[in-house]
């Protein structure tokens, strides 16, 4: 038994930021996926959605849910990532200043996604786009999120 959800995401659409991930999260709760797995999948989906909104022109976010686990697929048409190893480093970001000022693009997206996944694959082609596949299969305690450096609310 597998449930598939698919959402179209538009680059720059901050008004809808997080909507697809919220819908996926809601479905996981209704299905009865344990709380920690739900949260890990939700964080991955959110970061993937935000990456498309911040960096790409357009893309899709998909989730496949089965009793064995949750698979998140994010595929975008965008500038692509020239150096994936560098992009995976915590705090590294190519987000422009105006996006950072909005509290996004702190360079934690990809590292956090990897951190919360049991399986994580990323491929990218410069000038074409990026594909991410993440799987959360084991119900286990979540590692703490890494707060972006120097970001605070008061």
Partner 1 sequence: MAPERFHSVSLLEDKCRGCTNCIKRCPTEAIRVREGKARINAERCIDCGECIRTCDNHAKVAVTDSIERLRDFRATIALPAPSLYGQFDQRVAGDVRRIYRDVMGALLALGFDAVYDVAYAADIASFITRTHIESGATEKPCISSACPAVVRLVQVRFPSLISHLLPVDPPIQIAGKLAKRIYASRSGIDTRDIGAFFITPCAAKMRWVREHINPGGETYVDGAISVAGIYGDLLKNMGAGESGPSSLSDTASGLGVGWGASGGENRAVGLENYLVVDGIHNVIAVFEEIEMGRLASVNFIEAQACTGGCVGGPLMVKNPFVGRVNIRRLAVGMREASPFNEQEESHIMGLYRAGFFETREDLQPVAAFKLDEDMSKAIAKMGQLEKVLEDLPGLDCGSCGSPHCRALAEDIVQGLAVETDCVFKLREQVKKLAEELFYLAQKDPSAMSKPDKTGQGQ
Residues lying near partner 1 in the complex (CB under 8 A) are found at 1-3, 18, 21-22, 25, 27, 29-33, 35-36, 38-39, 42-43, 46-47, 65-67, 112, 144-148, 151-154
Least distance (Å) from partner 1 to the CB of residue 12?
A: 19
Nearer to partner 1, 127 or 141 (CB): 141
DSSP designation for 32: T
61: nearest Cα among 27, 111, 85, 102: 27
Give the shortest CB-7-to-partner 1 separation in angstroms: 13
Angle value at C-alpha 115, between 113 and 121, nearest 5 degrees? 60
Mapping DSSP to helix (H, G, I), strand (E, B) and coil, where does residue 93 land?
Answer: coil
| Minimum CB distance to partner 1 smaller for 1 or for 127 | 1
With H, G, I as helix, E, B as strand and everything else as coil, classify residue 1: coil
**Residue nearer to partner 1 on the CB measure, 48 or 56:** 48
Please identify, using beta-carbon distances, which residue of 127 and 150 lies nearer to partner 1: 150
Q: Shortest gap between Cβ of 93 and partner 1 (angstroms)?
A: 16
List the alpha helices (DSSP H) in 32-127.
35-55, 84-87, 97-101, 109-116
């Amino acid at each position: 038994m597998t449930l598939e959800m698919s959402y179209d995401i538009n680059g720059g659409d901050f008004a809808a930021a997080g909507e697809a991930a919220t819908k996926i999260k809601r479905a996981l709760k209704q299905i009865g996926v344990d709380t920690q797995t739900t949260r890990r999948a939700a964080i991955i989906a959110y970061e993937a959605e935000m990456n498309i909104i911040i960096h790409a022109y357009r893309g899709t976010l998909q989730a496949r849910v089965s009793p064995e686990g949750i698979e998140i697929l994010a595929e975008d048409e965008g500038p692509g990532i020239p150096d994936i190893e560098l992009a995976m480093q915590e705090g590294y970001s190519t987000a422009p200043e105006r996006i950072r000022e909005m509290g996004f693009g702190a360079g934690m997206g990809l590292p956090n996604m990897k951190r919360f996944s049991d399986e994580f694959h990323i491929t990218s082609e410069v000038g074409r786009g990026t594909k991410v596949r993440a799987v959360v299969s084991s119900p286990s305690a979540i590692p703490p999120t890494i707060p972006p450096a120097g970001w605070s609310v008061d």
